[in-house]
Amino acid sequence: MAQILVVDDEIGIRELLSEILREEGHDVTLAENAAVARTRREAGRPDLVLLDIWMPDTDGITLLKEWASGGHLTMPVVMMSGHATIDTAVEATRIGATDFLEKPIGMQKLLATVKHALEHGQRPATTELSLAAFPRSTPLKDLKKRLDQVAAGSRAILLRSPPGGLVDLVARTLLKPGKIWLNLTHDTQPLTVDALRNASGGVIYAEELGRLVRLQQKNLMFAVERLDEFSLCLVVGTEADAAQLAAQGWDESLLSRVFGGRLGLPALADIRDEIPEIAAHLLVHMIEAGEVPLRHLSTAAQNTLRQHRWPGGYLELKAAMKSIALAALEAEIGVDDVLPQIHPGGSERHPSVGADLSGDIMDLPLREAREIFERHYFEYHLAKTGGNMTRLAEKSGLERTHLYRKLKDLGVRSGKRSDEER
């Protein structure tokens, strides 16, 4: 039978639904709030979710939107509520809910709805990741707010990005479900009115203006003049300013149109504390799409990803995550799985094993510099003590349980336990 996740903050409802569904032979998992639901959904890959609308931490509609925008709505979801309006039910359906149950829920109605959802609930095609998938990240949440404000005032949006930026992730945020993504850099033929009409309501995109050839620049001009006619949104990125592009031969009237609505983006290295969450979302997204096997990142692997400079930005991180997941031998991705993919052949040493403590480290943020020093410190003393953890604990002044946790967080291989620890 099916694996069903029941999400409701009322314990009585959870237990009642669980009892009924288990008697029907289903495997039921329970969650009392959105935070637990996220974890259960990711770990269990349910065939169906029964999701309450009114919950104290995050309401069901918000969680449904989060799953939809993050490409995680790959199972039918039935919303539940005792106080919802018709508008709420319509909104839930528009976002992707399969059905709606009004409380109190009768047994026959429950079973009929569950049966219908399991038989007819479609698994939507996985969408690309966007900023909407990160409601708990302050930098990314604020960036989305700014993007929405700029998009409300202009159909043409220019993303000024340093090398290693987030252009693709940000641009995908403006693509509405079911609409077309038209990438100008893939066009080798003149753009036509029919192509724009077919893409009506969608997004026209170019990652870097400076790389567009003459034909693609003409296609851009052709599209800019017809954005309103076909309700299109143009999103282009560039590292250059208008003067630099004009010096390259760009039409100045086109540049004035494109540079009308501008939004500055950070480099991925500027928001390195968000990298573990972005990487985890990318990994789940690829698992849902069937691109990689079931994997999860260890804390040490997340720290290693966060320390990397990512000169290629979001797209480099995305490609690396796929390679890491495909090459990993175990379900948990460790540091040894990450390093060969981001530093192939060891041509560029990871800062934790090769940074100059008297040089480059002084230019780093305090938190990053401290972690690099701590790695060197523990690796040095592990080697000096022959991997004896008791002596290392005495030397560092850390309690051994804390020491093991510290080494794991830093991605440092711990030594052998002493005889008294075994």
pLDDT tens sequence across 94-145: 888 999 998 989 999 999 999 999 987 655 555 688 998 888 899 999 999 9
Identify the band that residue 249 occupies on the pLDDT scale cut at 50, 70 and 90: confident
Which backbone phi and psi does 100 adopt, to 5 degrees? -140, 130
**pLDDT tens readout for residues 316-371:** 999 999 999 999 999 999 999 999 888 775 544 444 444 444 445 566 667 767 77
Q: How far is CA 275 from CA 264, 305, 337, in A?
A: 19, 7, 17
Q: How far is CA 319 from CA 132, 315, 329, in A?
A: 21, 6, 18
Distance CA 225, CA 236 (A): 15
**pLDDT tens readout for residues 77-89:** 999 988 767 788 8
Identify the band that residue 163 occupies on the pLDDT scale cut at 50, 70 and 90: confident
In the DSSP assignment, the letter for residue 105 is P
176: number of Cβ within 10 Å: 10
Q: Tell me, what amino acid is at 252?
A: E
Question: What pLDDT, on a 0 to 100 scale, did the predictor assign at position 167?
Answer: 94
Note the pTM of the prediction, 2 decimals. Answer: 0.64
Q: ω before 177 within 30° of 0 (cis)? A: no
Question: What pLDDT, on a 0 to 100 scale, did the predictor assign at position 351?
Answer: 44
Given a contact cutoff of 8 angstroms between Cβ atoms, the answer to whether 278 and 311 are in contact is: no
CA angle 20, 26, 32 (to 5 degrees): 70
Question: What pLDDT, on a 0 to 100 scale, did the predictor assign at position 58?
Answer: 87
Q: Which domains, ranges and CATH numbers included, belong to the chain?
A: 3-120 (3.40.50.2300), 131-266 (3.40.50.300), 269-348 (1.10.8.60), 352-421 (1.10.10.60)
